[in-house]
Chains A and B, each alone.
Chain A
Amino acid sequence: MAISTPGSSAARRGYEPWDDPNATPILKIAALSKSFGPVVAVDRVDLNIFKGEFFALLGPSGCGKTTLLRMLAGFDRPDSGSIMLDGADMTAVPPYRRPVNMMFQSYALFPHMSVERNIAFGLKQEGLPAREIKARVAEALALVQLPDHGKRKPHQLSGGQRQRIALARSLVKRPKVLLLDEPLAALDRKLREETQFELINIQEKVGITFVIVTHDQDEAMTMASRIAVMDRGRIAQIATPGEIYEQPNSRYVADFIGKVNLFEGNLVGGETPLVRSAEAGCDIVLADAPGLRAGQRLWVAVRPEKFEISREPPPPGSTNCLSGVVWDIGYLGDVSTYRIKLDTGKMVVAAEANRVRRTERTITWEDRVYLRWTPRAAVALLN
């Protein structure tokens, strides 16, 4: 796998046009809705996607992400709302006249055509001269590192090769936006992880805006510059992978991305924002609580790896400290997860990296343990 420059993904380079008030998005979706009979698939979605972004639509199946993508491609007509692409209204434009291309989950390679003819198909529709078509097909095959596979038929390729050809075919027309519908879902786990990085590299190389639909949070976290988490047809949160993970705006998002422990409680007034939680069995100090009123109900979200697990009891009256008994241990090799039953009866999950060999592990079943975390490691959620 050719890696162009180390760690050059858009987010890491500090490319953040979404924070720039003067930047104009290449794709502007406004109040887009679509229903199938009584089922509302997409519900008044607003979305701005910027040039060169690797944008992920993430959500469980049935959340409307695929319908949204299909409306961008032109396969489904929205009931209301608009899609603007590079300043032009695409809402009523048929798919064959949109400057976007789609990579299908099933790849949808034409089985009766060779790889070359599959890739050339889109260019032929533009009526390009044969010489240029040939050159661009060769270029596309080189991009996906299958330069010698042009004469083969799709059924003669492996799953991974078919996936690359589908990518080449959708990129060869140099669309303004490339739509990818679960592009890695059909690959096995190892290949999927390799391909994630390869997709990032290809996207960097061609500079095309990618919009990817996925239900796999790892995939979205690894590849995307920004993620839109969808829930029942609506967008729950749009943010960078880091923000989504560290600062989810709702219990739904916190729970969908990674594991999370939630403690319901009420805000106690005072200088330091303090949460009294019966579930946690202790008072919880928050780092900050902008715009919160005393007495407000909220949930404190703590990720499993933010806990510090210890067998030593803390001084009495400590805040941010849970006490319980180890119920279960999941050994995953790189990390161990502990299911701990608190004295309040609530079950929490804590994780710790296995920096030492397993045989030397000190915490075991039915140990009494104490979980602590710093105020900055937790997030307060209002819904």
Chain B
Amino acid sequence: MNNLSPLSELTERWLRPAVERVPRGLAIGIPYAWLLIFFLAPFAIVLKISFAEPQLAMPPYTSIFEFLNEAGDYFSVELNLGNYLLLIEDDLYWRAYLNSLKIAAISTALALLLGFPMAYAMARAPERWRGPLVMMMILPFWTSFLIRVYAWIGILKGEGLLNGFLQWLGLIDQPLAILNTDIAVYIGIVYSYLPFMVLPLYATLEKMDESLLEAAADLGCRPFKALWKITVPLARPGIIAGSCLVFIPVVGEVVIPDLLGGSETLMIGRTLWSEFFTNRDWPVASAVAIVLLLLLVVPIALFQRHLLVRAEATR
């Protein structure tokens, strides 16, 4: 390489590798930039507001940064922890948190119970049916989420489709009070989030080697037990992914409890909404949002770490 001119050496050694690196850097950089601008920056703003105090102004909260003299030489940061203290002191908030977690946990379990057989049936269906079946699973997304939840009001209300049908069958005399109860919320959530459970489950189950089940049967294992001993453990990545995709958004769900739930259906998303838009207490609402985020992010991060350690241990 000694006979290269300085210029060509410059291109060979520095410019070309740099240019070649661009597409890769771009591919990694775009999602990072996206997350930075649209997730981290708003998060920082919300975090900042959560330490402020409410005031009747535009914007409706105090600034936590202040310049103490005209020249701007001194700079003070005033953090107000009162919003967080309120979350602890007022049992409305932590009851809302706990209830959200409870509703999310139960709906995730229900979605899993309902979604697993569906995903299994889809994965074991003849190959030419699988595409249309997946399509049918995705089809509801073509309609607005809000409209689909509204439609459930029509189904569940006192003189709605469900009660009409049950009365027509003669199973009940009086209409069941389902709308505006927790049951309606569960129905709405499980209905809305089921595809998020079914699709990742389907993806893992579809990849599964069917000869494993034959091997289990061959070794004396009955089909139902083989499902439990072979299929479920191997579907674990799908179960975890599906459960996360249902559990996390459901904890912060606003629309479904608002439209289908009763006034006593306490969920943190609703509380957050009313703090922002009814009480116009942005600092408390921001604190609620930050705590909700920590509540979800910390366990997931720990779980990810656990998976990583396990994966390395078995390698």
Contacts and interface: CB of A to CB of B under 8 A. Distances in A.
A106 B211 contact: yes
Contacts of A153: 314
B143 to A, nearest CB: 39
Name, among A101, A112, A156, A169, the residue most crowded by chain B CB atoms within 10 Å (CB to CB): A112
Interface string A96-128: 110011101010111110000000011001100
B212 interface: yes
Contacts of B221: 96, 121, 125
Name, among B215, B222, B233, the residue most crowded by chain A CB atoms within 10 Å (CB to CB): B215
B218 A125 contact: no
A180 to B, nearest CB: 12
B233 A95 contact: no
B22 to A, nearest CB: 36
B153 interface: no
Contact of A73 (B218, B230, B233, B234): B218
A98 to B, nearest CB: 8
Given A108-B209, A112-B234, A153-B314, A96 B215 contact: no
Contacts of A96: 217-223
Given A108-B209, A110-B230, A94 B217 contact: yes
B12 interface: no
Interface in A51-96: 73-75, 94-96
A173 interface: yes
Nearest to B219: A122
B216 interface: yes
Interface residues of A, number: 26
Nearest to B210: A108
A91 B28 CA distance: 59
B interface majority secondary structure: helix
Contacts of B215: 102, 104, 108-110
Name, among A73, A104, A173, the residue most crowded by chain B CB atoms within 10 Å (CB to CB): A104
Interface string B191-231: 00000000000000000010110111111111101000110
B214 A173 contact: no
Given A125-B219, A126-B220, A173-B220, A95 B230 contact: no
Interface in A321-355: none
A125 B234 contact: no
Given A110-B230, A112-B233, A112-B234, A101 B212 contact: no
Nearest to A127: B220
A109 B214 CA distance: 11
Contacts, number: 61
A322 to B, nearest CB: 50
A95 B231 CA distance: 18
A122 B230 CA distance: 13
Contacts of A102: 214-215, 218
A94 B220 CA distance: 10
Interface in A149-200: 153, 156, 169-170, 173
A173 B222 CA distance: 16
Contacts of A170: 218
Contacts of A100: 218
Nearest to A120: B219
Given A75-B214, A111-B234, A112-B233, A106 B219 contact: no
Contacts of A125: 219-221, 225
B314 A95 contact: no
A112 B235 CA distance: 10
A219 to B, nearest CB: 21
A275 to B, nearest CB: 50
A100 B217 CA distance: 11
Given A111-B234, A153-B314, A101 B211 contact: no
A233 to B, nearest CB: 22
B233 to A, nearest CB: 5
A110 B212 contact: yes
B131 to A, nearest CB: 22
B218 A95 contact: yes
A95 B211 CA distance: 13
A106 B209 contact: yes
B218 A101 contact: yes
A106 B222 CA distance: 21
Q: Which 4 A-B pairs have the closest CB atoms?
A: A122-B219, A125-B220, A108-B215, A108-B211
28 contacts: A73-B218, A74-B217, A75-B214, A75-B217, A95-B214, A95-B218, A96-B218, A96-B223, A100-B218, A101-B219, A104-B214, A106-B209, A106-B211, A108-B209, A108-B211, A110-B212, A111-B234, A112-B236, A121-B219, A122-B219, A125-B221, A125-B225, A126-B220, A153-B314, A156-B314, A169-B219, A170-B218, A173-B219
Given A100-B218, A125-B220, 15 more contacts: A73-B218, A75-B217, A95-B217, A95-B218, A96-B220, A104-B215, A106-B209, A108-B211, A108-B215, A111-B234, A112-B234, A121-B216, A122-B220, A125-B219, A125-B221
